[in-house]
Structure 1
Amino acid sequence: MKKVLTFGTFDLFHIGHLQILKRAKALGGYLIVGVSTDALNFSKKQRNPICSQQHRMEIIQELKCVDEVFFENSLELKRQYIIDTKADILVMGDDWKGRFDEFKDICEVIYLPRTPSISTTEIIEIVRDIS
């Protein structure tokens, strides 16, 4: 059984999140998920998540396809996270294609297509437009 590692904010959990996690799990059998902290999300997107990091982690922990969860505090620690979890495969969405190829020396890197027509950012924008 291979260990698969992936990362995400998972704010406003939706079907796209579930699909990528299920596809990641199918690649190895043991899925580890790094949930981006509120501070990391703000540094990437200049906005805080709608749901707190604790709530987001609880949602991910309860999914039957997820075996292990931890908080991702820094993008610069990806290599260390891979080493610490002993991941065989790093899975990221294909919008990051090529960005994590530097880790191919310690694990396989796979970019999975995102679920079309859904994203947390899009949901937030729709809700803001309605109100």
Structure 2
Amino acid sequence: MSERTVITFGTFDVFHVGHIRVLQRAAALGDRLVVGVSADALNLAKKGRAPVYSQDERMEIVASLRVVDEVFVEESLEQKRDYIIEHGADVLVMGDDWAGKFDWVGDVCKVVYLPRTPSVSTTGIIEHIASLGS
């Protein structure tokens, strides 16, 4: 029986318990977890701000987790299908804030949307820290 590969993507900036939980739940869906970490330029384009930690630092943080088997740089949201095929993924896992937005890759892998951890958000954490300085 072949190994079941799960792939997921994220910025993983200001790493928090919500990130840990989604990666643990994603890993539980297969034998191998591959994670695409959004490039600095992609994060700037999609969120309108540079990440707090650099792409290399975020990749190092994610790669250090025991549930993660491989990390790579995600350069473009439009290349999801290519990344799935390139890494031989059987399952794509995304947060439910993306529900329905990646169903278009359902012909090459199963798509699962996991609920986000309530009350935890990177943006909320960054805004809270910024407010402490004012």
Same fold (TM over 0.5): yes
Do residues 67 (structure 1) and 69 (structure 2) align?
yes
One-letter identity of the residue aligned with 1:13: F
TM-score scaled to structure 2, two decimals? 0.97
One-letter identity of the residue aligned with 1:128: A
Cα RMSD over matched residues?
0.5
Number of aligned residues:
131
State the shift of 1:116 in Å.
0.5
Q: 1:104, 1:78 → 2: CA distance?
A: 11
**2:79 corresponding residue in structure 1:** 77
Aligned to 1:12, what secondary structure does the other structure show? coil
One-letter identity of the residue aligned with 2:64: E
Q: 2:118, 2:81 → 1: CA distance?
A: 29
One-letter identity of the residue aligned with 2:10: G
Identical pairs, percent: 60
**1:36 corresponding residue in structure 2:** 38
State the shift of 1:92 in Å.
0.1
Structure 2, unpaired ranges of 5+: none
**2:53 corresponding residue in structure 1:** 51
TM-score scaled to structure 1, two decimals? 0.99
State the shift of 1:130 in Å.
1.0
Aligned to 2:34, what secondary structure does the other structure show? strand
Structure 1, unpaired ranges of 5+: none
Q: 1:95, 1:60 → 2: CA distance?
A: 21
Do residues 119 (structure 1) and 110 (structure 2) align?
no
Aligned to 2:131, what secondary structure does the other structure show? helix
